[in-house]
Amino acid sequence: MKESRSLLVLVAATFLSLICSAAEFRNLDFEEANTNDLMPGQEASVDQLLPGWNLFSIDASGCPLTHQRVRFGPLMTGVPYTALRGDRMLEDFPQGEYYVSFERNLPNDLIFKLEQRGTIPVDAKFLIYRNLNSEMQVEIDRMTIQPLNRQGPFPPFGFTDVVTNLVYDVSRFAGQEVTLSFVGPFGIRALTSGFILAHGYIDRIQFIAQVPGLSVERSESQVEVRWHASANDYILQSTELLTADAVWQPVQIAPVTSGERHTVKVNVDAKGRFYRLTLQSAD
């Protein structure tokens, strides 16, 4: 009887160690790149520029082709490519030194897939990534996850210059080891001669436990906007019109922190305003 109990304890301990050894996702902000001695336009290995990630191309038959090399820098050649970029051409976009860009010009160009296997945090409810131009489709274990928000209306060329934090509900995968993939980019509307000009930029992928909410209280001359003090990565924005192409501007009033709340007091104007929280740039 004593031997059976010892065996059970050993099996349980081994199983527990396997659970604990599941790998965490890494390099979600692409800042682990080693660009020493690289000039813009040069290529280097995926391991050097995108450590922790795997990169594939998908042909018309759906067969993935492994990429061994990635371009560093913004050199444009007119052919499909994936590049780790450290340039400042997109001043409002990067949230650190590096971000990743993908380009496809024709409908038959190979589709890119940036992929990594890891464990989604146990308390994660949402995945957020910073996006510009064409969206990259998010997949978890080959299942497409639709964003809870979109970038807004697209101009005729099929991409937008609106920087957006795209949000995805990943709560069903919390605590699980999964394969996370970013697939695309896909042009929204073809141009003449079949060009799609699908350019996608991604940066700062995050798992978060919750999206902080706002509470608003109005007095005769002021509005108090409050949110939880733990949401330090967010800034308050406002707009006059709540439309798909609304222009959101930062509220130029520093929040006052008291206890567990950030509070901003705004003078009431005749037009009225809408407020939201958005993830701030790390720059």
CATH code for the domain of 253:
2.60.40.10
CA angle 268, 213, 226 (to 5 degrees): 40
In a domain, 95, yes or no: yes
Close Cβ partners of 201 (under 8 Å, ≥ 6 residues apart): 85, 90, 93, 99, 100, 101, 102, 131, 132, 133
Within this chain, do residues 71 and 200 fall inside the same structural domain, yes or no? yes
Weakest mean pLDDT among 192-201, 249-258, 266-275:
192-201
In a domain, 23, yes or no: no
Print the domain residue range for 152: 43-208
CA angle 257, 213, 143 (to 5 degrees): 135
pLDDT in tens, 195-251: 777 888 899 899 988 777 888 888 778 889 998 887 777 788 888 888 767 788 888
pLDDT mean over 90-99: 74
Within this chain, do residues 257 and 157 fall inside the same structural domain, yes or no? no
Burial of 45-62, coded b for 16+ CB within 10 Å and e otherwise, reads: ebebbbebbbbbbeeeee
In a domain, 249, yes or no: yes
In a domain, 130, yes or no: yes
Q: What is the pTM of this model?
A: 0.73
In a domain, 24, yes or no: no
pLDDT at 91 over 90: no
Within this chain, do residues 165 and 142 fall inside the same structural domain, yes or no? yes
Percent share of the chain, pLDDT over 90: 29
Within this chain, do residues 160 and 263 fall inside the same structural domain, yes or no? no
Contact 204, 100 (CB under 8 A): no
214 or 179: which leads in pLDDT:
179
Peptide linkage before 147 cis (omega within 30 of 0)? no
pLDDT at 191 over 60: no
Domain end among 181, 208, 235: 208
In a domain, 255, yes or no: yes
pLDDT in tens, 107-157: 788 899 999 999 999 999 999 898 888 888 999 999 999 988 765 554 444
Q: Give me the number of domains the chain comprises.
A: 2
28 φ, ψ to 5°?
Answer: -75, -15
Residue keyed to tokens 């192409």: 245
pLDDT in tens, 26-58: 999 999 999 998 988 899 999 999 999 999 998
Band of the pLDDT at 85, cuts 50, 70, 90?
confident
pLDDT mean over 5-30: 57
Distances (CA, A) of 5 to 10, 12, 13, 15, 17: 9, 11, 12, 15, 19
What per-residue confidence (pLDDT) applies to 158?
46
Distance (Å, whole) CA 65 – CA 226 = 49
